[in-house]
Amino acid sequence: MTDILEYIRTWSVLKWIVLVLIAGFIGQFGRMMAEAITRKISLRRANNQRSDADVKSGNLPSVPPAAARIPDKKLIKALAKARKKEAKKNK
């Protein structure tokens, strides 16, 4: 009889441990998702406020803010090549 009780207790403890681990896993990823969403919303609000201020002051950006943050690798490479070529000419 004690073997059966011990068997039930063992499985009960294991079930609780697994349940707590699953809850922690879900909670951690839920927190990370919530932080990502709030960061995205705050960036969007900051961009909207910046663009509203530009419209009011008459300073409209010629390049969209998203494109301005991403460097164009081909352009950077072409500029570096042109500088190198200019440096050879000046020697």
Q: Residue 64 pLDDT more than 70?
A: no
Quick one: average pLDDT of 55-71? 60
Residue 68 has pLDDT above 60, yes or no: no
- For 33-48, what is each residue's pLDDT tens digit? 999 999 999 988 888 8
The pLDDT of residue 50 is above 80: no
At position 85, the amino acid (one-letter code) is: K
Question: What does the chain come to in residues?
Answer: 91
Contact in structure between 50 and 68 (CB atoms under 8 Å) = no
CA pair distance 57, 42, nearest whole angstrom: 22
